[in-house]
Amino acid sequence: MAKIQFSKGIDEDAIPEVRLTRSRSGESGTASFVFIKPKALSNASTEDITGMYMIDEEGELVTREVKGRFVNGKPEALEVLYVMRSTLEWERFMRFMERYAEENELGFSQK
């Protein structure tokens, strides 16, 4: 099962918008995630956000590049950047995203 967590052990319910960019050489790339009104920012959440953890049967991918977006002082979204520095990291991330997309009925479009 592919899942995303912001605090260890607590699955995030909000489905993100994800944008991918890749270098011309294919050696590196970035994934930008935007979670609108995630559970991790709700008033009910008492856990600290320690990063974004992408977990599946192969293991765990982690990024600490997590920023909150606030509107009128209220938490609105989480913006996350995941950087891949090699072809192997890119391929591993894509395997995770395929599983995550399939389980959460995410679509894919190239722009």
Each residue's pLDDT, cut to its tens digit, for the chain (111 residues) gives 999 999 999 999 999 999 999 999 888 999 999 999 999 998 777 788 999 999 999 999 999 999 999 999 888 999 999 999 999 999 999 999 999 999 988 776 665
Question: Would you state the pLDDT for residue 58?
Answer: 98
Question: Would you state the pLDDT for residue 46?
Answer: 78
Q: Which domains does the chain have, with CATH numbers?
A: 3-104 (2.40.30.220)
> Rounded to whole angstroms, how far apart are CA atoms 15 and 3?
10
| Cβ contacts of 62 within 8 Å, gap of 6 or more | 51, 52, 53, 54
> Rounded to whole angstroms, how far apart are CA atoms 30 and 54?
15
Encoded tokens for 86: 């090699």
